[in-house]
Structure 1
Amino acid sequence: MSTHEPTEAATDGATAPLAVELTGITKRFPGVVANSDVNISVRAGTVHALVGENGAGKSTLMKILYGMQRPDEGTIAVDGREVVFHSPADAIEVGIGMVHQHFMLADNLTVLENVVLGAEPRSGLGLDFAAARRKISELSTTYGLGIEPDVLVDELGVGARQRVEILKVLFRGARTLILDEPTAVLVPQEVEELFDNLRDLKAEGLTILFISHKLDEVLSVADDITVMRRGTTVASVVPSEVNSRQLAELMVGSALPVPELRESTVTDRPVLTVDGLTVTAADGRTVLNDLSFTIHAGEVLGIAGVEGNGQAELVEALMGIRALAHGSVRLGALDITRMPTRKRRERGIGYIPEDRHRQGVLLEGTLWENRILGHQTRPPNVRGPLLNRAGARKDTERIVAEYDVRTPGIEVAAAALSGGNQQKLIVGREMSGEPVLLIASHPTRGVDVGAQAAIWEHIRQARANELAVLLISADLDELIGMSDSLRVILRGKLVAEYDPKTVTPEQLGSAMTGAAGEVSTGNGEVA
C-alpha cells in the first residue's frame, strides 16, 4: 500500500499512458479550502476509483475536471497535454464526459431525443435524426448498453436510464467518463450489469473515473483507487493491496461501520397503522393499491423496492402531501387520514426526504434558517407567535456538534456544505423535538461511511427510546441490517414480507424486480 501521491502506474507489467493528470489542484471558497494540493494520475483504459468522506473534496475536484469550476492553483493534463477549462463544453471538447448521480433525462422524450438534446446532428438546414439513430445504435451495440433509440425514457427502469446517461456522453465523443455515485439507486442485479458495461467500455479503450461510497463495489471494479481526506489526496492503492476495512480506515480513520440493530426493542404499541391505503394519479392510474401495515414503538419497518414503484407516493400520502383515494392512516389512536402536513408534523412525525435539494433544504438559506424548516410552529424556533431566531441558532449549534456537520459556522448557506453534511443537518433537524414516528427515505444516500455510521447510531438510539421508523432505502445491506421487519413494494403493491435475519440481498433484489413471484410470505416463500 502506498500513501505517496499517485504516479503513473503499471498493471500486468504494461505501463499505460495517462488519460488525465491533476497536479497540485487547490480550490478555496469563503471560509473553507475544498481542495488542497490534490494529485491524481489516471491511466488510460482503466477504472480509477475516487473515494473519501463527504466534504473530502471529491465533488469539487470532479467539477474542476469537468469545467464547472476553475482551480485557484494547479494544472490539468488530458492525454499528456495541459488544458484550461472555462466550461463543461471545453471538457467535452477534449473527451471528458460526466454522468451525474441525479439523472438529467426528460421522461416524455425518447432515448434518441434525450441523447441528442443540445448536440443535435444537422443535415443542411434540418436535423439528421437518421444519422443520430444509427450512431446511437452503433454505440449501444459496441459498448453492450442494450438501448433502443426510439423507446420513451418514461418506460425505462433505473438501470436502463443510467445507461442512457452513459450513452449521452459517449455520443458527444467522451473517452474519459466521470461516474458520480453510479450505483446509488441500483439493485444488485443492475449493479452487476453496470459493472459489465464498465468492463466493456474499458475493453474498448475508454477510461472511467468512478466515485463511490460503496467500498466493496470499488474493490471489485476498480484497477486503481485514490483516497481523499479533508480536501487532499492521502493514498493511492490497488485493490489487491487492501480490503474494505483498510480502505475505510484510510478514508475516515476508523473501521468500516456495519448496519445492524443488535437487540430487539419492538413493543406491542402501534404508532402508525395504515389500512387499505390506495392512491390514484391525476390521470386515474392506481399508483398505490390497498397497502396495509403497522409500525410499533421501537420498530424499524424497511421498505425495499426499485425506485418508481410507489415509494415516493407512499411517503407523500403518509405526510399529507398526497390525498388518499381509499384507506386510512392512524398515528397512535388518532385518525390523521385527512390531517394537513403541518398538523402531522406537530403531532410528532419527522421526515427525511429522498431528495435533499428539492425537499430537504433551502440551498440559499443559512443553516439556522434551514433548522426552522418544517418546525416553524414549535420550540426552540418560536416564542409565542414570533420566530425565536436566538433559539433556532442555539439549537443549530447543537445539531452541528452532535451530528458532526462540518461547516465554518451556522451563518453559511446550506449550498456551501457537501451533500453529506447537508444530509446530516437534515437528520439532526428531524430527530429533534422528540418525534414519535420518523419517515426516513434514503437517509444515508450519498454520505460517506463515517456519516453512515453516525446516522445509523442516531436511529438505533431513537429506536431504543421507542421511536417508530419507516425506512425506505436503495441500499439493501442497510435495509437488512437496520430493519426489524421488511416488506417489498412492486408496482404500487406490497408483494413480499421477509425476516431481515435470514433474507439475502439477492432474494430481496429478485422480489423487487418481480422475479420471485407476486406474493411472498414472511419466511421468503412464495405464496
Structure 2
Amino acid sequence: MAAVVEMLGITKRFPGIVANDKVNLVVEQGEIHALLGENGAGKSTLMNILFGLYQPDEGIIRIKGQEVKVTDPNMANRLGIGMVHQHFMLVQPFTVTENIVLGSEVKRGPFLDMETAEKKVMELSEKYGLDVDPKAKIEDISVGMQQRVEILKTLYRGADILIFDEPTAVLTPQEIAELMQIMRNLVNEGKSIIFITHKLKEIMAISDRITVIRRGRYIGTVTKADTNPDQLANMMVGREVIFKVEKRPANPGSPVLEIKDIEGMGNRGVRALNKVNLEVHAGEIVGVAGVDGNGQTELIEVLTGLRKATSGTVKINGKDITNQTPRKIAESGVGHIPEDRHKRGLVLDYSVADNLVLNTYYKEPYSKSGILQSQAIAEHARNLIGLFDVRTPSETTLARSLSGGNQQKAIVAREVDRDPDVLIAAQPTRGLDVGAIEFIHKKLVEQRDKGKAVLLFSLELDEIMSLSDRIAVIYEGRIVGIVKPEEVTDHDLGLMMAGGTLEKEKGGTD
C-alpha cells in the first residue's frame, strides 16, 4: 500500500526539553494507524507539526509522496489533513452548520448561503453515518455529538487524512463504540486515520498498525495482529505494567461520609439529584457508576461546596457540612480530585509549586503574617514532585506546560498530602496513560489502606470494577442500587446504569 504520510527523523526542541527526537511515522492509505505513548511522550507535538501548528527543527515530511513544508493549519487543510482536537474548538451559541463552515463560508453574492451549507453538511453526515442535526445549537447537544461536529468540520474542508487526538477521553462507553463505527466508515470510504491514544483496549479494537514513542523517541511500529496489550504497554512505558489493581480485601470501619436525602438542581433549573442516600466508611473505596449526565457532577459539586443542595444533609465524621463553603468543607477533612483538571483542579498560569499549595497557602509554613513564604512553598513542591513522580523541568514551571498525566499527578499529590478523611476522586485517570493510571490507582488504594474513605466517580467501568469495594449505581439523579464488584458483571452494571434492575440485588448496604 502507498504511504500517504511519511514523517522521517522529526526533531522538535522547546526550552529545556526535546519533545521529539528523530521520530518516524509512516501512515498507509486506508488504514487506522495508532500513535501510542505515555502522557508527555511527544504524540501531540508530532501531530501539531503535521498539522502546521509547530515547525520541526529537523526532519522531512512527505504527503502522498511529495515533500512538503506544512507552514500552518490552512496549508494542512489544502494538503487534505484535518485534525479533531481533544479539546473541541466550537462556538457554543452557533449552530452545527455555522461551526462547520466557519472560515470557509458559502456565499451567494454578498450573503451567506446557509441553505447550501446545511445541505452539504447533511449529505456528509449521512454518508459517514454521523447522524448530526445541522440546525442544532452546539450548547444543546451532547459531548459525543460535538465531537462528530469536529469530524464533519474536517470532512467539509476535504480532508482525507484525519488526525484524532485522544478522541475517546470525554466519551461514554456507548459513544466510544459509535465513534469506532464512524472511524471504520471513514476508512471504508478511502480516508486514512491517525489515532492518538494510550488506551490499549481501543488500539486492539480499532487500529491496523501501531507506532510507539517513548519520552520523545521512536520505539517501533507493529501490526495489531503481531502484538498484544502487554507488549504494547512494555514498549510504551519501558517496563512491565501491572494491569490488575493489587489490593487486599477492605476492612471498613465506621461511616465517615454520610449523604442523606440530598436533592439539588442542575444548571438549567431541572432537578438533577433526587434523594441521594449513600454512606462511605473508613477503609473502603465506594465507586459511583453511571452514564455521564445522571447527576454525578452535581453530586460532586454538592459534596465539595461548589453547588448548593436544595434539601438533605451531608455529614463528615458526624458533623453537618451541608452547603458550607469549599474551604470549610476542605478543612473538615475532604480532599477533592476534580473531574476537570483545567477548570477546577489547577490554575494553569501559576507555577507547579503555587498549584501545590492552592488550598493551604494561607497556613504556616507557607504564609506568615499574610506574606507568602516562597522558600517553604518551593521546598514543599520539590518534595511532592519527587514523591509523586511529577515530571516537570522544575517547580517554577507553569502548570499549563505539563502533560495531562503530570498535571493529574500534581493534583493527586496536593490532595493526598493534606491527609483528608474523605477523598472524592472524580475521573481521576481520565485521559491518562497506563503508567500514570497504575500509579494513581496505587495511591487511591494506599489511602483506603490508611483507613481513609474514598468516593470514586468514574465513567470507566473497568476502573470502577477493579478499584471499588462497593459500587453505587446512579441513574437520573438517584442511587438505584449498591452492589459488590465480585458479585456482578459489566453487563449487570450496564443494565442498572440504563435504569434496569437485577433479578436479585447483590451485596452491599446503604
Q: TM-score range by the shorter chain?
A: over 0.9
- Counterpart of 1:228 in structure 2 is 213
Kindly indicate whether the alpha-carbon contact (under 8 Å) linking 1:498 and 1:521 is maintained by their aligned counterparts in 2.
no
Further displaced range: 392-401 or 231-240: 392-401
Q: Is the 8 A contact 1:139 1:170 kept in 2?
A: yes
**Displacement of 1:188:** 3.1
The secondary structure found in structure 2 opposite 1:191 is helix
Letter in 1 for 2:390: V
Q: Determine the structure 2 residue equivalent to 1:56.
A: 41
Write the deviation string for residues 243-264 of structure 1: whole angstroms up to 9, x where unpaired. Answer: 1001101111223332535322
**Separation in structure 2 between the aligned mates of residue 478 and residue 281 of structure 1, nearest angstrom:** 26
Mapped pair 1:161 → 2:146: yes
The 1:521/1:272 distance shift into structure 2, 3 A limit, reads: farther
Is structure 2 residue 447 aligned with structure 1 residue 462? yes
The one-letter amino acid of 1:238's match is: T
Cα pair distance change 1:304/1:137, threshold 3 Å = same
Contact 1:140–1:167 (CA<8 Å) still a contact in 2?
Answer: yes
CA distance in 1, matches of 2:116, 2:327: 53
User: Which letter does structure 1 place at the counterpart of 2:283?
Assistant: G
Match of 2:51 in 1: 66
SS in structure 2 at match of 1:362? coil
Which residue of structure 1 aligns with residue 78 of structure 2?
A: 93
Alignment of 1:329-368 (within 5 A): 329-368=314-353
1:145-224 aligned within 5 A: 145-224=130-209
SS of 2:486's partner is coil
- The 2-side partners of 1:459 and 1:283 are apart by 34
Q: Which stretch of the first structure deviates more once superposed, 387-396 or 438-447?
A: 387-396
1:369 equivalent in structure 2: 354
The structure-2 alpha-carbon separation of the partners of 1:431 and 1:379, relative to structure 1 and needing over 3 Å to count, comes to farther
Question: Which residue of structure 2 aligns with residue 246 of structure 1?
Answer: 231
The range that moved more, 424-433 or 103-112, is: 103-112
| Partner Cα distance (2:329, 2:425) in 1 | 15
Q: Secondary structure at the match of 1:321?
A: coil
**2-side partners of 1:370 and 1:133: how far apart?**
45
CA distance in 2, matches of 1:235, 1:151: 43
Correspondence for 2:459: 474
Instruction: Determine the C-alpha separation between the residues in 2 that align with 1:169 and 1:510.
Output: 36
**Cα distance in structure 2, aligned partners of 1:355 and 1:116:** 29
Partners of 1:176 and 1:452 in 2: CA distance: 30
3-state SS in 2 of match to 1:426: helix
Q: Distance in 1 between matches of 2:199 and 2:447?
A: 26
Q: What residue in structure 1 maps to residue 10 of structure 2?
A: 25
Amino acid paired to 1:23: L
Residue equivalent to 1:517: 500
Aligned pairs for 1:101-500 within 5 A: 101-260=86-245, 262-281=247-266, 283-383=268-368, 385-500=370-485
Tell me, in whole angstroms, the C-alpha distance in 2 between the residues paired with 1:33 and 1:337.
Answer: 49
How far apart are residue 190 of structure 1 and its match?
A: 2.7
| More divergent stretch after superposition (482-491 vs 365-374) | 482-491
Q: Distance in 2 between the 1:382 and 1:126 partners?
A: 60
8 Å CA contact 2:351–2:399 kept in 1: the answer is yes
Deviation at 1:384, TM superposition (A): 5.8
Larger displacement relative to structure 2 (229-238 or 357-366): 357-366
**Amino acid across the alignment from 1:185:** V
Distance 2:206 2:25 in 1: 18
Mean Cα deviation higher: 304-313 or 171-180: 304-313
Q: Which moved more, 1:223-232 or 1:305-314?
A: 305-314
Distance 2:270 2:256 in 1: 30
- Call closer, same or farther: CA 1:103–1:487 in 2, change over 3 Å: farther
Scaled by the length of structure 1, what TM-score is found?
0.91
Shift of 1:305: 2.3
3-state SS of the aligned residue for 2:480?
strand
How far did residue 426 of structure 1 move?
A: 1.1
Shift of 1:519: 8.4
Structure 1's unaligned 5+ residue stretches are: 1-15
Contact 2:307 2:323 in 1 (8 A): no
> Are the equivalent residues in 2 in contact too, given 1:463–1:469 (CA < 8 A)?
yes
Please identify, of 52-61 and 502-511, the stretch whose mean Cα deviation from structure 2 is larger.
Answer: 502-511
SS at 1:198 equivalent: helix
Query: Is the Cα contact below 8 Å between 1:298 and 1:463 reproduced in 2?
Result: yes
Deviations 1:364-383 (A, max 9, x none): 22111111112223455334
Answer yes or no: is the 8 Å Cα contact 1:495–1:520 preserved in 2.
no
Report the number of matched residues.
508
Cα offsets for 1:87-113 (capped at 9, x unmatched): 222212211111122334445443223
TM-score computed with the length of structure 2 as normaliser? 0.94
Q: Residues 222 and 457 (structure 1 numbering): CA distance in 2 closer, same or farther, change over 3 Å? A: same
Shift of 1:473: 1.4
Change (3 A) 1:163 1:27: same
AA of the residue aligned to 1:49:
A
Distance, in Å, in 1 between the alignment partners of 2:220 and 2:385 is 29
Distance in 1, Cα, partners of 2:28 & 2:3? 4
Q: For the structure 1 residues 450 and 380, does the alpha-carbon distance in structure 2 shift closer, same or farther, using more than 3 Å as the test?
A: farther
Gaps of 5+ in 2: none
Residue deviations 1:43-79 (CA, integer Å, cap 9, x gap): 1110000111111111111111122222222222222
- Give deviations 1:18-64, integer Å, cap 9, x for gaps: 11111111111111111111111011110000111111111111111
CA distance, structure 1, for counterparts of residue 462 and residue 230 of structure 2 = 16
